Amino acid sequence: MNKALDTKRINVFLAFAFGISWSVALIIFLNGGLANSPEMIAGTGISLAVILLATGYMWAPALATILTRLITKEGWKDSGLPLNFKGRGWTWAMAWFLPGILTLLGAGIYFALFPEHFDATLGTAKALIQNAESQSGESVPLSTGAFTVLQILQGFLLAPLINSIFAFGEEFGWRAYLQPKLMPLGYRKALLLTGAIWGLWHAPIIAMGHNYGLDYPGFPWAGILAMTWFSMTAGVVFGWLTIRGRSVWPAVIAHAAINGIAGAAVLFLAPGSSPNLLIGPLPLGLIGGLPWLVLAAWILWKGEPAQEESETQVSRETPKGPSSMPSAKSVIFAENLGKSFGDVQAVKDLNLDISAGKVFGFLGPNGAGKTTTIRMLAALISPTEGGAIVNGFRLGEDDHQLRKSVGILTEAPGLYTQISAQQNLEFYSTMYEVEDIAGQVERYLRMLDLWERRKDQAGTFSKGMRQKLAIARALLHEPKVLFLDEPTSGLDPSASKLVREFIEELRGQGRTIILTTHNLDEADRLCDRIAVFNSQLLALDTPENLRRRLYGREVIFELSSLKASFAKALRQKSYVHSVEEADSNLSVTLDDPDMRNPELIRELLDMGAEIRFVHENEQSLETVYLDLVSNDSNEPGENS
């Protein structure tokens, strides 16, 4: 089960990106379009349309990202802005040089198919030089061949840097923001859909002649389709570079590079030829873009870049996630989860399916794997076998989001002892990106009876007070799942009672709480379900059902005097499993005593027994636990 689409933020982003860009396109259209736009700087050819395209239109996706993050209070984590050079030299090299190589290859294929459009004498390049000389009144001190080589070299070497100012406006929106938001659809779908949306975003300016002109069959729809097709292929490449580089900047460089080198093929066009730009020789055409298509197909065929390059990975040893799907009510789902440390198997074949709003207990001796299990489910360490889904996030794939959705109290509080309790919580609130830091800190300090000591250094607190402060820290970001590893360890009875009441209150709020404890009475009172654990699952059920499964239900009949015939008569009942005699009492193990007790009472009375008292003998959870752990041979219960 993948993380759900964040449709709210996607819709807000798209509304801004398309709304701003298409509004700019309308202004361009109302002021003469692309062809007849008024010149803003005399003699330069820089028109209103050129300025609006480079600033308003192309930067709209970046502006949409900024506005969406601010309005929805998303913050700036996972912005894609860090450069992340280390260990990614090949990614940056491909971003810089690959677009130029693919573009020249596409032009070569086009000219091989349409040789009549190719001019080895570089007539078009010569005409460009002559035009520049006539406008400037000075001669160009370069031969036609040198001019052409220089243009291609600057396209390879300088354009990726110079043009990145404008390419960033698009990539910060499409690849840095929209693509990650679409990843729950799957890697391939996310890359293709981002490219398709990017292509359609160009529609108004394509209709005004951008990239393809105005004179081609099927204008403007054929141009919009061609632009969408190229945007999907280039978008796959740019998206792949973004994921490989863990940064948007490789996509920015690649986009800038193609903008700088795309027109190189024009230098080789025969003067007077009129190529259909929907076909080529530019990479925007179907034939000119063939190398881009081949690379995009290979990227999609290969699938998502290796896991060690994904920032969500806990470690390289993380196995694939669960093969089966959890139920709709599941908050935690584990399948064959296991962890080994060298030759020691700490957890083996653990299967869990825990519903929302429950308190779930892990019981087991020291070294049984309880803490290891919690650390795996909280994405702090990776499993060596099996997989798990927590809050809809797959362990090993969505670890960053998984950690943000859970709270955890470990055995050691892990607080900063030289700063105050309030400063500790304020620091962790910042780490968790809590919006109302002051309010949340005060709320939990008061709730755990620490408000009066908020200014004191955490190092001056007793062990119990530090434990309560650590619980407050785990709750600051309002997690849906809370892992509590020995939460009452070291607390006095009064503080333990406060924590237990607090856990009950959290359950009432619909949170799921995973609890490890050695306090069996505490587990009996708090837990809806209990897993008895010793490296592997020994039993899993409600406390009451665990007792019944091991010992059945035992009813004690206290009599004034005991006769052998009483026990013999009760043993004849089909629903009675055993009858033990002790002093003047009968201990009867049977099915469904609530329904059968009246019948047994009548039977005994008819036989002349004088019944003084009847009660059910309930085994303690401690007895259940000790029997399970000592035997270590019981079959696991049903996981639900």
Of 132, 139, 114, 131, the closest CA to residue 268 belongs to: 114
Apex 221 CA angle, 215 and 225, nearest 5: 110
The set of residues, in sequence order, having a beta carbon less than 8 Å from that of 544 and lying 6+ positions away, is none
Please report the DSSP string for 589-603 in residue order. EES-HHHHHHHHHHH
How far is 494 from 132, CA to CA, in rounded Å? 88
Q: What is the pTM of this model?
A: 0.54
Let me know: does 370 contact 515? Beta carbons within 8 Å: no
Q: CA torsion angle for 322, 348, 328, 544 (degrees, to 10)?
A: 170
Number of C-alpha atoms within 13 angstroms, CB side, residue 119?
Answer: 20
- The reported pLDDT for the residue numbered 330 is 82
248 with 176: CB under 8 angstroms?
Answer: yes
pLDDT digits (tens, 9 = 90+) for 160-197: 998 898 899 999 999 999 999 998 888 899 999 999 99
Q: Is residue 22 part of a domain?
A: yes
- Identify the pLDDT of residue 66: 95
- Structural domain contains residue 561: yes
Can you tell me the distance from the alpha carbon of 558 to that of 570, in angstroms, rounded to the nearest whole number? Answer: 14
pLDDT at 236: 96
Both tokens assigned to 524: 């009996």
Considering the domain architecture, whether residues 481 and 511 belong to the same structural domain is answered as yes
3-state SS, residue 397: coil
- 261 domain-assigned: yes
- For residue 394, the cross-strand partners are 389
Q: Is residue 223 within 8 Å of 279, Cβ to Cβ?
A: no
**DSSP codes joined into one string, 3-63:** PPP-HHHHHHHHHHHHHHHHHHHHHHHHTTTTTSPPEEETTTTEEHHHHHIIIIITTHHHH
Query: Of the residues 504, 525, 541, which one is the last residue of a structural domain?
Result: 541
> Residue 359 belongs to what domain range?
330-411+472-541
Return the number of other C-beta atoms located less than 10 Å from residue 349's C-beta. Answer: 16
Q: Which residues of the chain have pLDDT under 50?
A: 1-3, 307-317, 633-640
In the block, residue with structure tokens 């709270």: 407
In a domain, 461, yes or no: no
CA distance 230 to 57: 19
HEC string of 154-213 equals HHHHCHHHHCHHHHHHHHHHHHHHHHHHHHHHCHHHHHHHHHHHHHHHCHHHHHCCCCCC
The pLDDT score that the predictor gives to residue 627 is 63
- If asked whether residues 106 and 192 sit together in one domain, one would say yes
Regarding whether 271 and 135 lie in a shared domain, the answer is yes
pLDDT for 420: 94
Pick from 239, 234, 259: which is nearest to 250 by CA?
239
Reported as half-sphere exposure (CB side, CA atoms, 13 A), residue 6 has a value of: 17
Residue 420 in any domain: the answer is: no
The answer to whether residues 487 and 594 belong to one domain is no
Element (H, E) at 394: strand 393-394
Query: If you count them, how many residues does the chain have?
Result: 640
Distance CA 320, CA 300 (A): 20
Largest CA distance in the chain: 131
Of 505, 521, 541, the domain-final residue: 541
Q: Are residues 194 and 228 in the same domain?
A: yes
Let me know whether 80 and 148 are in one domain: yes
For 391-410, what is each residue's pLDDT tens digit?
888 888 888 888 888 999 88
The neighbour count for residue 221, using CB atoms within 10 Å, is: 11
User: Is the same domain home to 252 and 335?
Assistant: no
Please indicate, yes or no, whether residues 504 and 574 belong to a single structural domain of this protein: no
The per-residue pLDDT for range 437-488, each reduced to its tens digit, is 999 999 999 988 899 999 999 999 888 788 889 989 999 998 989 999 888 8
Do 83 and 20 fall within a single domain? Answer: yes
Closest residue by Cα to residue 377 from 408, 344, 342: 408
Which of 493, 525, 541 is where one domain is finished? 541
210: left (phi over 0), alpha (psi -120 to 50) or beta: beta
Q: Indicate whether 582 and 517 sit together in one domain.
A: no
Which CATH number do you get for residue 579?
3.30.70.100
Is 605 among the domain residues?
yes
Query: Which residues lie below 8 Å from residue 607, measured CB to CB, with a gap of 6+?
Result: 563, 565, 566, 569
297 inside domain? yes
Q: Taking a C-beta distance cutoff of 8 angstroms, is the pair 252, 168 a contact?
A: yes
The count of structural domains within the chain is 3
Distances, alpha carbon 398 to alpha carbons 77, 130, 371, 404, 405, in Å: 15, 58, 21, 10, 11
Which amino acid would we find at residue 7?
T
The pLDDT tens digits of the residues spanning 557-613 come to 888 888 888 888 888 888 888 888 888 888 888 877 878 889 888 888 888 888 888
CATH number for the domain spanning 378: value is 3.40.50.300
Residue 561: count other Cβ atoms within 10 Å of its Cβ: 10
Question: Is residue 173 located within the same domain as residue 276?
Answer: yes
Alpha helices in 381-420 (DSSP H): 399-405
CA pair distance 30, 24, nearest whole angstrom: 10
Residue type present at position 424: N
Name residues whose C-beta falls within 8 Å of residue 209's C-beta, 6 or more positions apart in sequence. 33, 34, 35
Contacts of 235 (CB under 8 A, 6+ apart): 174, 175, 191, 192, 194, 195, 196, 198, 199
Burial class (CB in 10 A: 0-12, 13-18, 19+), 447: middle
| Gap between the terminal Cα atoms of the chain | 17
The verdict on residue 316 lying in a domain is no
Q: What is the pLDDT of residue 142?
A: 81
> Do 53 and 164 belong together in one domain?
yes
Provide the pLDDT for residue 58: 94
Q: CB of 399 within 8 A of CB of 313? A: yes
Identify the CA nearest to 638 among candidates 546, 510, 507.
Answer: 546
Please compute Rg for the chain using Cα positions.
36
pLDDT value, residue 159? 87
